[in-house]
Chain A
Amino acid sequence: KQEVTQIPAALSVPEGENLVLNCSFTDSAIYNLQWFRQDPGKGLTSLLLIQSSQREQTSGRLNASLDKSSGRSTLYIAASQPGDSATYLCAALYAGGTSYGKLTFGQGTILTVHP
Chain B
Amino acid sequence: AQSVSQHNHHVILSEAASLELGCNYSYGGTVNLFWYVQYPGQHLQLLLKYFSGDPLVKGIKGFEAEFIKSKFSFNLRKPSVQWSDTAEYFCAVTRGSGTYKYIFGTGTRLKVLA
Decide if A and B are genuine partners: no
Residues of A within 8 A of B (CB): none
